[in-house]
Each structure stands twice: as structure tokens, then as C-alpha cells.
């Protein structure tokens, strides 16, 4: 495991909201593996899973709290005695938000305000939160730079932009150390391959392995800056523990700075698995952007972020994980 921090973590207490989820559980794993004094997880298990965190049971530094960020009292309890927060709890998925904007707003905006308010009241040292590349909307230029956003294309994107606006206000009004991370198509082990809003890479891998129908939305020429989960972990650790004061009050692209088409992704997975299984193309998805590519120079400059896994190396690790899971 790569190390993304300096110094001793044994005197530091962390809260990971959504810590039983895909990205959250990887952050928890990093913190515990590196000797954090306390790592508390807050999760309502709506999209997270206890299977992602059972490996931490028995670690004296680990604490699990089942609760919902839509409850302000729950948020206040979760923040007690905490120094650093990484807020990963959210309802992901553009299609889910298109189908049910009210619940996405309740969790992603209402829950965010509850959480950052509780963090303010508890006097935490840093509050890092998950934003999204969806905030770029229809802004046409590539690569995406943090200071240029367009018209938003989905309720999910609106919720994430609202997070950034609230964080900016809380940073200025209350002097909080906040930082937002605009994730670009994060993938890796423990990503959920099941359900109507499953992520594309686990869907592809399990579909090819099992020779079940695999759908590609549109012509498959749309491109994404696919980002292995270790890079998202790195950004969270560096942002939470940043000593450079100018790093706070900002939002950062978290990606690799390279993009690949969905068709290329599908073919690459088939090659790794050594299985030929043609996909089925269907209509494009509502609210999706066509092309995505991140400029990561701001995160490199202010956080010291440097991707440790590029697309192909991360994909090989991910495919192997799901191959073993499917045996």
C-alpha cells in the first residue's frame, strides 16, 4: 500500500461518513492500516454494505455507527471527539437522481448541510467531501479545469454543486478548513456490480465472465477519465491532512488526466479476461456528458496529489478482484 501522508496518525481521530461504501471503505482501510488513533464510520447501509467493513472488526481503533445523515442529532453524535472528516455519504448515480430527485436532494444536500454544521459545531480541523465531475455539465472544453463549469445536466450534478457552494460559504463564514474532491469515474474492488444503478466496470466484468447480456449506452464512443480507487483515497488523505493553508476552500479534480472510450474499456476487460462476448448497444442515458477528461494540475500543486495507479494497471487489479469474486 502506498503512503500518502507524513507523520504519525495514532493521535488523530477520523470520521468517514459513508464508510461502508465503495470509496469510503478504502479510505477506512488506509487509515487503519496506517495506525490512525480512531476511525469512526457513519453509514445507514442504504447503498453501503457491512461486507465492505467486516474486515475491520476487532481493530480497537475502528468504530461503526449505523445512522442517517438526514438526522442532525446523528451527525452531531458522529462528530464528537473527531479531528478530521471525510464526507463520502451520498446517493450516487445520475439516473437515480433523474428518477427520484427529491431523495437525492434530501441526502446529498440536506444531509450535507447537517454534516458540515455538525462538523463546525464540533470544531473539526478539516472537512473533506466528495464532489463530482458532473458539476462540469455542458462546459465543452477539455481537459476540465476547476474554474470552468457549465450548465448542469442532472439533479445529481445540482446536489454536488450545492455541496461546493455550501462548503465555500462555511469556509468563509466560520473559518472552516474545507476541500471538495471532484471524482472522475472512480472504480476498483468492492464497487457494487448489482442493482439498477451499478457502476459500469463491475457490470462489464461480471457480464463478460457470466456471458450475460452487457449493455453499452449509446455508441460507446463517449470518453471518461477512469480513476482507480487508490487515487481517490490519496486525494482524501492529502486533503484532510493538508498543512498548506491555501489548499482549503477549494475543489479539486481527482482523476488521472487521461481518458478512454467506453468501447475501449469494454474491449480491454475482455482481453484481460481472455473472453470474447460482444456488447449490446442501447439508447444514450439521460443527463450524461459525452466526454470527460481532467486537468489534475491544481491537485498536484496544492495537495501534492500524484496518481499511483493509471487506468490499465488499476483495471487489471479490478478485473482480478471480480474474477475471484465470481468463482
Residues counted in the chain: 327
Catalytic residue chosen out of the listed positions 156, 166, 228, 252: 156
- Could you tell me whether strands 215-217 and 186-187 are parallel, antiparallel, or unpaired per DSSP bridges? unpaired
Q: Could you tell me if 285 and 218 are in contact, meaning their C-beta atoms sit under 8 angstroms apart? A: yes
Q: Is 30 a catalytic residue?
A: no
Q: What is the DSSP letter of 300?
A: H
- Give just the sign of the alpha carbon dihedral 293, 298, 301, 304: negative
The whole-angstrom separation of Cα 264 and Cα 266 is 5
Biggest alpha carbon–alpha carbon distance for the chain: 56
3-state SS, one letter per residue, for 245-264: HHHCCEEEEECCCCCEEHHH
End-to-end CA distance of the chain: 25
Dihedral class, residue 262 (left if φ above 0, else alpha if ψ from -120 to 50, else beta) = alpha
Catalytic positions, please?
156
Amino acid at each position: 500500500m502506498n503512503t500518502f501522508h507524513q507523520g504519525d496518525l495514532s493521535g488523530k481521530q477520523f470520521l468517514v461518513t459513508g464508510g461502508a461504501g465503495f470509496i469510503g471503505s478504502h479510505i477506512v482501510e488506509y487509515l487503519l492500516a496506517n495506525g490512525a488513533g480512531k476511525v469512526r464510520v457513519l453509514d445507514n447501509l442504504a447503498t453501503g454494505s457491512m461486507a465492505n467493513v467486516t474486515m475491520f472488526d476487532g481493530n480497537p481503533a475502528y468504530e461503526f455507527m449505523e445512522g442517517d445523515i438526514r438526522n442532525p442529532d446523528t451527525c452531531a453524535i458522529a462528530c464528537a471527539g473527531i479531528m478530521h472528516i471525510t464526507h463520502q455519504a451520498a446517493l450516487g448515480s445520475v439516473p437515480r437522481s433523474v428518477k427520484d430527485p427529491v431523495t437525492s436532494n434530501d441526502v446529498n444536500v440536506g444531509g450535507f448541510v447537517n454534516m458540515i454544521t455538525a462538523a463546525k459545531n464540533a470544531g473539526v480541523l478539516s472537512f473533506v467531501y466528495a464532489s463530482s465531475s458532473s458539476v462540469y455539465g455542458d462546459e465543452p472544453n477539455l481537459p476540465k479545469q476547476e474554474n470552468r463549469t457549465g450548465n448542469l445536466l442532472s439533479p445529481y450534478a445540482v446536489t454536488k454543486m450545492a455541496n461546493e457552494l455550501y462548503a465555500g460559504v462555511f469556509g468563509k463564514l466560520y473559518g472552516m478548513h474545507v476541500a471538495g474532491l471532484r471524482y472522475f469515474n472512480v472504480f476498483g474492488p468492492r464497487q457494487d456490480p448489482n442493482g439498477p444503478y451499478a457502476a459500469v466496470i463491475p457490470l462489464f466484468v461480471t457480464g463478460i465472465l457470466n456471458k450475460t447480456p452487457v449493455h453499452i449506452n449509446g455508441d460507446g464512443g463517449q470518453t471518461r477519465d477512469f480513476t482507480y480507487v487508490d487515487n481517490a483515497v490519496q486525494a482524501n488523505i492529502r486533503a484532510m491532512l493538508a498543512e498548506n493553508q491555501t489548499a482549503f476552500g477549494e475543489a479539486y479534480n481527482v482523476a488521472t488526466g487521461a481518458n478512454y472510450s467506453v468501447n475501449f474499456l469494454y474491449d480491454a476487460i475482455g482481453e484481460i479476461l481472455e473472453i470474447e462476448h460482444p456488447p449490446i448497444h442501447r439508447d444514450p442515458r439521460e443527463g450524461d456528458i459525452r466526454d470527460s477528461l481532467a486537468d489534475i494540475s491544481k491537485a498536484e500543486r496544492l495537495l501534492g496529489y500524484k496518481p499511483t495507479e493509471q487506468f490499465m494497471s488499476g483495471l487489471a487489479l479490478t478485473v482480478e478482484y471480480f474474477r475471484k469474486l465470481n468463482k
